[in-house]
Structure 1
Amino acid sequence: MSAEFVILALVVVTALGFDFTNGFHDTGNAMATSIATGALKPKVAVGLSAVLNLVGAFLSVEVALTVTNAVIKVQGADGAPKPEFLADQGVPLLLIVLAGLVGGIVWNMATWLLGLPSSSSHALFGGLIGAAIAALGFGGVNWVGDGSKLDGVVGKVILPALFSPVVAGVVAGIGTWLIFRITAGVAQRFRETGFRWGQIGSASLVSLAHGTNDAQKTMGVITLALIASGHWQSTTGIPFWVKLACALAIAAGTYIGGWRVIRTLGKGLVEISSPQGMAAESASAATILASSHLGFALSTTHVATGAILGSGVGRRGATVRWGVAGRMVIAWLITLPSAAAVGAVMWWIGHLLGGLAGSLVVFGILVVSAAGMYLRSRKTAVHAGNVNNEWDGKVGIPATGETSKELTRA
């Protein structure tokens, strides 16, 4: 067994690990409002979301191809994959991908621990960009594509990140206003009951959309690694086994349930009702599915958060916690550079030690970091039984045996 094959195996395992964290980090995007309003029981919600994420992962490959082609320059002037130009510079693409994945996972775990709904997508792209810059300089990143159209990182990642939450928020706000306007004469209890059924359908659609967008990002990363190692030649297709593995990984992560993030989205932003939840989820699904079709690797977290805030603005008298939203926006702004910094450091460590030894050390750092954050999270556990406790302004939840007045910060 060659050293290159072992490194490739480490990259694939790490990529699937990222996919798993993406699943539990982003479960709240689809199911937080349905859980908060009681439309679905918490464990039923995450189970349904897991199944639909699995199905959604097979519906498209446009986003996967964006990840393969739009971040690191893997093609020569003739458009064919040219991983050897990296090897000629003594820069193994596999180590770049591994370091970038570690950057993404570490940031995902850190924000999950804090209960902050930040972007798994931007954590991944940030890690890859940081590792690529450390290895190749700024010229190693595909910033704007071939120049004939706005493509690359700017067109496919940064611009969608700026516009998608605004679009989703506006659509959800208008939808919420219309819903309450049209149903003004309906008794509240009948309105809530009816829209809870609508929430189940719209939340299911968001889960399906999440699978079509987020699972593909890991497919693209693994395909990039396969190109680098010579096990795959096409930049326009994805191996079936990669699709299957990524679909199963994100579904498993989703089923675990990212309760800390679900709590923040469901209880921390807006005191949400079923009509608002249906409007927010419908706006999120429409935005995500449209972007997946166009190959935009946007953040489903940004979209869902924008839609939830929009639903609060669209309902007269609704409570919107702008302070919590502000903390989330700060996390959004620092996600890409923070993950990039981790990715760059991991590249330097791996490159300094060289070859298989460097890759094993980088992988070891990931395992130790992730284990440490997981153990820290158990001190203030969030689970299906306490995820809907009343919000008291803190990012956290009472651990088992504590009262609602004894909240500890996550």
Structure 2
Amino acid sequence: MTLLIIIIFLALAFDFINGFHDAANSIATIVATKVLTPFQAVLWAAFFNFLAYFISRYWIGEFKIGNTIAKTVSEDFITLEVILAGIIAAITWNLLTWKLGIPSSSSHTLIGGFMGAALAHAFTVDGADLNTVVNYAKVIPIILFIFMAPLIGMIVAYFITVLILNICRKANPSKADKWFKRLQLVSSALFSLGHGANDAQKVMGIIGAAVIYYHTQIDPMVEYKTAADPFKYFVEHWGWVPFTSFAMIALGTMSGGWKIVKTMGTKITKVTSLEGVAAETAGAITLYTAEHFGIPVSTTHTITGSIIGVGITKRVSAVRWGVTISLLWAWILTIPVSAIIAALLYYIISLF
């Protein structure tokens, strides 16, 4: 039980870190266009991060992404030590990229850590079939969306921007800018809802995997063994976990993440209020679509692709491709680096 409590504590700590690490996703453009001050922006984003709990729980009625995360690794290779190593690796990579101001994916570092620790565990099991460790039916769509999410965000943002420019081509520039600054409040709220719903569930998935393992292996409960879907049973009987997960990511968002705000809001391309509306709306559409299919995607990748999409509408050179390529490398490296860190941590934890 002690190890389970430690895992829950660290998972919620990761959730908090995820909030301030990814705060820039929701507020970078709204701060860059001076619609809200940084302090106002984080309060705005945090409110809608938390509001997403009530939408997921009482309107949608399920937590598909949390369920997906819990099942990315075969239950035969899940132990509390595996989950602990995965969480510590995810926290380590998140703090490192935050320190360097790199908008990497909290989603993918968590998944990479979980898989890396599970593979390390499989190597210690005699006769284990390494091909069965990872649930590829769940993981392959996640990996594909490393590239698909920013691409979809970019394409949708491009067409939304072009559409707005054509509709408003005869509008008074000053009046139009005032309207778009108001609309940015709406678009950033929509994106923050998507951010909260997408990212808070990932921590729920990890905690769910730990609780299910504990109650099937260490302190067996027949309800978990006989449930058609153990994760749904977990959500129903550990209702405080979803609530706390959404609350923690909201608190993390309130603490900000200013280095990443600077990268997202100014270094990729200069963003106007009109373009902020287009980028955030495109990002929200992408997140809601992925959530509908239960695919955990990176809010960081999504909004970055959307910002690139609005930049391309001006000219290709308006996007600082050197910065973008650096971000792309960080995205590609996140899962394997997190997996390696988690594997090493698993072997260290196993010594005790």
Which residue among 20, 26, 37 is the counterpart of 2:22? Answer: 26
Taking structure 2 as the reference length, the TM-score comes to 0.89
Other-structure match for 2:64: 62
Percent sequence identity over matched residues?
A: 37
What's the RMSD between the two structures over aligned residues?
1.6
CA contact (8 A) 2:115 2:134 kept: no
Once the two structures are TM-superposed, the CA of residue 136 in structure 1 deviates from its matched residue by 1.1
Once the two structures are TM-superposed, the CA of residue 249 in structure 1 deviates from its matched residue by 0.9
Higher relative contact order (CA 8 A, sep 6+): 2
Written as runs of structure 1 = structure 2, the 5 A alignment for 1:22-101 is 22-58=18-54, 59=56, 60-69=62-71, 71-74=72-75, 93-101=79-87
Other-structure match for 1:368: none
Deviation per residue, 1:93-136 (Å, 9 max, x gap): 00100100111111111111111111000010011111011001
3-state DSSP class of the match of 1:116? coil
CA contact (8 A) 1:175 1:314 kept: no
Other-structure match for 1:384: none
CA distance in 2, matches of 1:54, 1:65: 19
CA contact (8 A) 1:22 1:250 kept: yes
Other-structure match for 2:342: 343
CA distance in 2, matches of 1:141, 1:189: 58
Once the two structures are TM-superposed, the CA of residue 48 in structure 1 deviates from its matched residue by 1.1
Once the two structures are TM-superposed, the CA of residue 302 in structure 1 deviates from its matched residue by 0.6
Residue identity opposite 1:213 in structure 2: N
Which residue among 111, 114, 123 is the counterpart of 2:109? Answer: 123
Gap runs ≥5 in structure 2: 57-61, 124-129, 225-229
**For this pair of structures, how many residues does the alignment match?**
326
Once the two structures are TM-superposed, the CA of residue 260 in structure 1 deviates from its matched residue by 1.0
3-state DSSP class of the match of 1:63? helix
Other-structure match for 2:135: 143
Once the two structures are TM-superposed, the CA of residue 228 in structure 1 deviates from its matched residue by 1.2
Deviation per residue, 1:170-191 (Å, 9 max, x gap): 0101111222222222233222
Other-structure match for 1:176: 161
Taking structure 1 as the reference length, the TM-score comes to 0.77
Taking structure 1 as reference, are residues 193 and 274 closer, same or farther at Cα in structure 2, changes over 3 Å only? same
CA contact (8 A) 1:176 1:315 kept: no
Other-structure match for 1:11: 7
Other-structure match for 2:333: 334
Which residue among 138, 141, 149 is the counterpart of 1:164? Answer: 149
CA contact (8 A) 2:287 2:299 kept: yes
Which of the two has greater helix per residue? 2
Other-structure match for 2:313: 314
Deviation per residue, 1:223-270 (Å, 9 max, x gap): 111011117721334221111111111111010011111111001111
CA distance in 2, matches of 1:153, 1:279: 30
CA distance in 2, matches of 1:170, 1:141: 35
Residue identity opposite 1:136 in structure 2: A
1:264 has 2:250 as partner: no
Gap runs ≥5 in structure 1: 75-84, 87-91, 145-150, 354-410
CA contact (8 A) 1:133 1:140 kept: no
Once the two structures are TM-superposed, the CA of residue 316 in structure 1 deviates from its matched residue by 4.6
Greater Cα shift, 95-104 or 236-245? 236-245
Deviation per residue, 1:6-41 (Å, 9 max, x gap): 111110011001101111111111110011001111
CA distance in 2, matches of 1:139, 1:131: 15
1:224 has 2:216 as partner: no
